[in-house]
Chains A and B, each alone.
Chain A
Amino acid sequence: MAEFEFETEGVKKTFTFMNRKAPYGTIYALEVLETVLISAAFEQHANIIFVDDGVYQIKAGQDTTAINMKNFSPTYGIIEMEKEDADEDDDIDMVWRIIVEKESLDARGLTEDDFKVSVEVLSAAEIADIVDASDCVISG
């Protein structure tokens, strides 16, 4: 059985995490989030992007009691903290962006004020450029 050793010393890539699905109907939102957190341990750059129904993942006020599922939305607060720590610490070379697509917001009647975390609201064209420049894209 192979156990490949990668050369990752000094490697700095940009991962785009593309979130397009509402939370709880499927597990993809949660399991992508777990990958985002792991990428922090490797100090990789990340674009955490919410598009289509993915914008609902960060909507404030989720109450999962009656569906008996774990409310994982507080974890987005940890993502935000990781980002802020990286932004403030000159010793950490890790650029994280939390981005929401304007077209997806408008289609759903949402604004930035609906979210638990601070986001950059960008147009589809701006997001296209950012994603095009990334090295890996992971979505659920």
Chain B
Amino acid sequence: MKFGILVNEGPFTHQASDTAYQFAKAALEKGHDVPRVFFYYDGVNNANKFSAPQADDRNLVKLWGQLAAEKNVDLVVCVAAGQRRGIQDANLADGFRISGLGQLVEAGMGCDRLMMFGD
């Protein structure tokens, strides 16, 4: 099964990004595909390469980037939501790309399930 994922909130303030990540990881471990994760609203903040959590805590920005690299997951940051919140190429973390809202609609159209995680 192909799971598309929509992440509505940034790292740490809400659990949404963690839950989305754990779901994606579990889906991939079960042999499903996660072709695209779309970051919208404050979710774009998951792509900020300057996020520097404490050393003994999970680094969500890096975890998402690793998932992209290891499991071929397309991490897309909404350009309009990103612009509002100051996420641009200059501070974009590894593994993410910036694109339009159409990529979310496309994921909804092309996946078997669109899972949404927010606050």
Write the residues of chain A forming the contact surface with B, with a CB cutoff of 8 angstroms. Answer: 1-4, 6-8, 11, 13, 15, 27-28, 31, 34-35, 38-39, 41-42, 44, 135-140
Contacts and interface: CB of A to CB of B under 8 A. Distances in A.
A38 B105 contact: yes
A138 B43 CA distance: 14
Given A136-B114, A140-B8, A140-B118, A13 B102 contact: no
Contacts of A139: 116, 118
Given A2-B72, A31-B41, A44 B36 contact: no
Nearest to A137: B116
B86 interface: no
A42 B41 contact: no
Q: Which of under 10, 10 to 19, 20 to 34, or 35 or more describes the interface residues of B?
A: 20 to 34
A1 B106 CA distance: 18
A22 B81 CA distance: 19
Nearest to B116: A138
Given A11-B109, A31-B40, A135-B114, 13 more contacts: A1-B95, A2-B68, A6-B111, A8-B106, A34-B101, A35-B40, A35-B101, A35-B105, A41-B105, A42-B105, A138-B104, A138-B114, A140-B41
B74 A3 contact: yes
Contacts of B72: 2
A135 B40 contact: no
Contacts of A135: 108, 114
A1 B110 contact: no
30 contacts: A2-B35, A2-B68, A2-B72, A2-B73, A3-B97, A4-B36, A6-B35, A6-B107, A7-B110, A11-B109, A27-B41, A31-B40, A31-B81, A38-B100, A38-B104, A38-B105, A42-B102, A42-B106, A44-B105, A44-B108, A44-B109, A135-B108, A135-B114, A136-B108, A136-B114, A137-B114, A137-B116, A138-B6, A139-B116, A140-B41
